Structure 1
Amino acid sequence: MESFIVTTSGEVSFTFPANGSDFSLKELQDSVNGNIEIVPIRKNVGPLIFKEFDKEGFAIKLTDEYIMIVNSEGKIESKQFNYVATVLATASESISPGDWIAGDVLVCRSSMVK
């Protein structure tokens, strides 16, 4: 699981940088539909299994090599609550208890963002 987008509807889709190694700023902004903010994964997570959106479920496992790219103005712009991203960010202690993620999120290895 190198890089993937988690939408507010719970869909997870794999994505790759156009150049094959690292995402451009435009690719990052397009992934989250706006300005970006980097949220580091502070501790290993998972595998967490999500069955809320898919009968078979899907598992996500992250290490501190990963980061989340979020829309920095997601809450201000009233983007939808992102359940999966919020669970991941909370479990990895990347956000404070009670905080939440709004909008679509790109999750990738930190080496893929320069």
Structure 2
Amino acid sequence: MQAGPLSSDELRRMDAYWRAANYLSVGQIYLLDNPLLKRPLTLDDIKPRLLGHWGTTPGLNFIYVHLNRVIKERDLNMIYVCGPGHGGPALVANVYLEGTYSEYYPNIPQDAEGM
């Protein structure tokens, strides 16, 4: 178990994961297509009805990345329980990033097509 503040490398990696989870979350909330922005966005790329709420997403992603750190560091037997509602895209983004989503749904690959 680590005592003291997190290393700058650990903070950098956690921040990168958090930003990736936020990116995937916002894509789920707003986009139908073009998740990597390989071309300028058009109205055809935007969902007509939004599911999820951006206001809850970054906080849920923040909790997820920090809980994962503590679970791994201390070998804890715990899970993060969160309601599906507005925060659903956050949890889907995290399990997609860690690979669990594609394990359960093999038709959703961890690539641009899966996004």
Is TM-score (shorter-chain normalized) higher than 0.5? no
TM-score, length of structure 2 as denominator length: 0.24
Which of the two has greater strand per residue?
A: 1
Identify, as 1 or 2, the structure richer in helix: 2
